[in-house]
Structure 1
Amino acid sequence: MDLLRSLPIGLYLEHPITWLHRLDPRVKLVWLLSFLITPVISNSLWRIILALLAIAITLTAGIPFRALRQQAGWLLIVCTISFIVTCFVNDGLAVSSQPRVPDSLAFFPETSYQYILLQIGRFKVTRHSLDLAVRLSTILFVLIYSSSLYLLTTAPEEITAGLEDLMQPLRRLKIPVTEIALTLTLSLRFIPLVLEEIQNLFRSVTTRAINWKKLGLRQSFNLWLIVAERLLENLLMRAEQIAIAMEVRGFTSPDRHRVQWHQLRLGIGDGVALGILVLFWWARLVWGWAA
């Protein structure tokens, strides 16, 4: 078990370097926010287009299949289950009687319109439940997968540098932008240390071949409590070591001791991505509204 490589989401793909890696982190962040915002009050077709667009971006970038399987395998299973369950649940229209035919078709009884699309015993799929299933499954996929794709192709240093640059206008409101960026950088760098400590403690427990059945519930709980206490102690020790290392290097404050983790530069690819983003929002405002 290797927690540093088996996480289903949030890992950074160092190799190969794709065109997504080369984009400016600020451009990718704006695209990510667009994927997170545009599904709001949108129709089902637009959400399906967003899901297909996210998959198309991944395929054109040439991301290896191993990363796709690890990042999106479980997500596809969750979205598929949510789609099937939502299709067969009650459509949520809690009235005893209602017109099943739209007003535009009320005077044409020979039409092939059907409100119930599929019925298997007591279970049935209606037009409303199908629409709800599409909306739920696609929004789950788009929100989680787009965030995962952003983390997959953007290094932690690039994320913090892009956020700090985009938050510069907040300095006029006396908001400590640099301190926030530094805290985020240290947090992202501390996550692998947390995973490493958890992995080491888990291996130390498994290598001792403990018979959990003989221990009983109370002693098992006490043992895991000791492990959790040891984990917290190790993490606090790691945090103290990081603080001492920063003090030794003369770090006093983010404004006086600036460390440039990543140089932000806009290239031709970034300009093309921003131009496509304008067309993307235009399509959303024209065709993406919910009916």
Structure 2
Amino acid sequence: MDLLRSLPIGLYLEQPVTWLHHLDPRVKLGWLMTFLLAPILANNACRIALVGLLILLTLTARIPWRAWKQQMGWLLIVAGLAFVITCIFDDGLALTSQPRLVGAELSDITATGYQFGDYRDIQPTPYDYVVLSVGRITVTRHSLDLATRFTTLLFTLVYSTSLYLLVTAPEEITTGLEQLLDPLNRFKIPITEILLTLTLALRFIPLVLEEVQNLTRSVRTRAINWKKIGLKQTIQIWLVVAERLIENLLLRAEQIALAMNVRGFTAPNEHRVQWHRLQLRWGDGVAIALLILLWWARLSVGWMV
């Protein structure tokens, strides 16, 4: 199994180039922060709309099915399981659901005196706290609301970040963040060093997956009979594999550090590289206008009641 293809989390999609690739990284970062912050204290309708908007962006950008399936497939499975588990678990409210019947309940009202009209005008409402009850499985309105909030929040936070990394190169992320955080340099905060570390971390993800893949294949080629060796030896083997993985990753990090040192990356003032040239285009203006419209709708009708 090729981990670099089956788990493209945090990897950059170079081809094909979609319209999301052409957007300014600062604008895409604003949209990412919107997807991360807008679900806070939002109602379920707003959260479901954000999920639909993410799927719409993926479809309109014509991201290849292989990347879309691998990015969203496992997430939909996890979100679906979380939704089902949250629905059937106890909703946390110690309430006893009783049907609304016209009879003894209304007789109690007449005993105390009904001042606002004849009690015969009162009709039972179709409201029912229990949505589904099959055996010991009970789904209430509160548990359904919790499940919807949790799964939409999980999907939005994970997939929005994954989509941002999928259509934005690490160099673009570094340049956009550097310009946005440039005022912090007045407070002696090493913004350039921090963002360079972030870039290296994003570039290091494929190396980690490659090392895990190579070690996994090396274990498979030895045709170990896991049933015969027992649990103790199995744990020892995987501890050795984990130790080898850490050693290989540290060796890769040391090689990268030496290569940067040879090329003069000793201080940002001595060796500064312009990673990406930022320029706002008409498409960025449309994206900013839609972002403002989205926040207006969120602040107007998107609050949780």
TM-score scaled by length of structure 2: 0.87
Q: 1:218 to 1:81 in 2, by over 3 A?
A: closer
| Pairing 1:101-250 to 2, within 5 Å after superposition | 108-250=122-264
CA contact 1:100–1:115 (8 Å) conserved in 2: no
Q: Assess if the C-alpha contact under 8 Å between 1:4 and 1:195 holds in 2.
A: yes
Q: CA deviation at 1:161?
A: 1.6
Q: How many residues align?
A: 287
The aligned counterpart of 1:27 is 27
- Residues 188-220 of structure 1: CA deviation (Å, up to 9, x unaligned): 122222222222222122112223333333333
Letter of the structure 1 residue corresponding to residue 193 of structure 2: E
Opposite residue 180 of structure 2, the aligned amino acid is L
Q: Is the 8 A contact 1:182 1:254 kept in 2?
A: no
Q: What is the alpha-carbon distance in structure 2 between the residues aligned to residue 10 and residue 100 of structure 1?
A: 53
Determine if contact 1:156/1:185 at 8 Å carries over to the other structure. Answer: yes
- Give a deviation string over 1:24-79, Cα, whole Å, max 9, x none: 11111110100110100111110011111111111111112221111001111121
Compared CA separation, residues 256 and 76, structure 1 to 2 (3 A):
same
Worse overlay, 62-71 or 193-202: 193-202
- Which blocks of at least 5 consecutive residues in structure 2 are unaligned? 102-118
Identity %: 66
User: What SS does the corresponding residue of 1:251 show, helix, strand or coil?
Assistant: coil
What is the TM-score when the length of structure 1 is the normalising length?
0.91
Q: Specify the code of the residue in structure 2 equivalent to 1:131.
A: D
Q: Deviations over 1:145-185 (max 9, x none)?
A: 11111111111111122111211121122110000011111
SS of the residue aligned with 1:118?
A: strand
The answer to whether the 8 Å contact 1:161/1:261 transfers is yes
Q: What is the CA distance between 1:227 and its match in structure 2?
A: 2.4
Cα distance, 1:100–1:266 mapped onto 2, change above 3 Å: farther
SS in 2 for 1:243: helix
Aligned match of 1:263:
277
Deviates more, 1:57-66 or 1:213-222: 213-222
Separation in structure 2 between the aligned mates of residue 28 and residue 100 of structure 1, nearest angstrom: 51
Task: Answer yes or no: is the 8 Å Cα contact 2:264–2:270 preserved in 1.
Answer: no
Q: For 2:267, give the aligned amino acid.
A: S
Moved more, 195-204 or 30-39: 195-204
1:125, 1:221 → 2: CA distance?
A: 41
Q: What is the letter of the counterpart of residue 190 of structure 1?
A: F
3-state SS, counterpart of residue 119 of structure 1: strand
1:12 aligned partner:
12
Counterpart-to-counterpart distance in 1, 2:122 and 2:100:
13
Decide whether the 8 Å contact of 1:8 with 1:74 is kept in 2: no
SS of equivalent residue, structure 1 residue 209: coil
Aligned twin of 2:294: 280
CA distance in 2, matches of 1:254, 1:37: 32
- Structure 1: runs of 5 or more not aligned: none
Structure 2 Cα separation of the partners of residues 227 and 89 of structure 1 = 39
After the TM superposition, which residues 55-70 of structure 1 pair with which residues of structure 2 at under 5 Å, given as runs? 55-70=55-70
Q: Distance in 1 between matches of 2:146 and 2:6?
A: 33
